[in-house]
Amino acid sequence: GQNIDQPTEMTATEGAIVQINCTYQTSGFNGLFWYQQHAGEAPTFLSYNVLDGLEEKGRFSSFLSRSKGYSYLLLKELQMKDSASYLCAVRASGGSWGKLQFGAGTQVVVTP
């Protein structure tokens, strides 16, 4: 199985940078995802990491260290619309490739 931990809530000011950490313990690993979920809506895909390193996509970047079981999502130039829950998810490997486990989510509150 897998344990996925991420902070419950973070608050940051508009225009600032916020880093959301995710740690995981896994018996098999085949990729890590970040999703964004606004209140009352379905999650939407943000990023995918399967190799170590940083993936940058506009204002959002995601980093992975497989040896440390660690990832972070970096949100730059925060906007009010970035207020949402951010979900870290880990995909299993091998025969359980279809299994996907999510962390409980980090609620990011952006203040003016």
Partner 1 sequence: EAQVTQNPRYLITVTGKKLTVTCSQNMNHEYMSWYRQDPGLGLRQIYYSMNVEVTDKGDVPEGYKVSRKEKRNFPLILESPSPNQTSLYFCASSSQGAANTGELFFGEGSRLTVL
Residues at the site binding partner 1, with contacts judged by CB under 8 A: 1, 31, 33, 35, 41-45, 48, 87, 89, 91, 97-105
Q: How far is the CB of 15 from partner 1 (least distance, A)?
A: 28
Q: How far is the CB of 26 from partner 1 (least distance, A)?
A: 13
Would you say 69 or 103 has its CB closer to partner 1? 103
Would you say 42 or 80 has its CB closer to partner 1? 42
Q: At 104, which amino acid appears?
A: A
Q: How far is the CB of 5 from partner 1 (least distance, A)?
A: 11
Distance of CA 6 to the CA centre of its chain: 8
Contacting residues for 36 by C-beta, under 8 A, at least 6 apart = 43, 44, 46, 84, 85, 86, 87
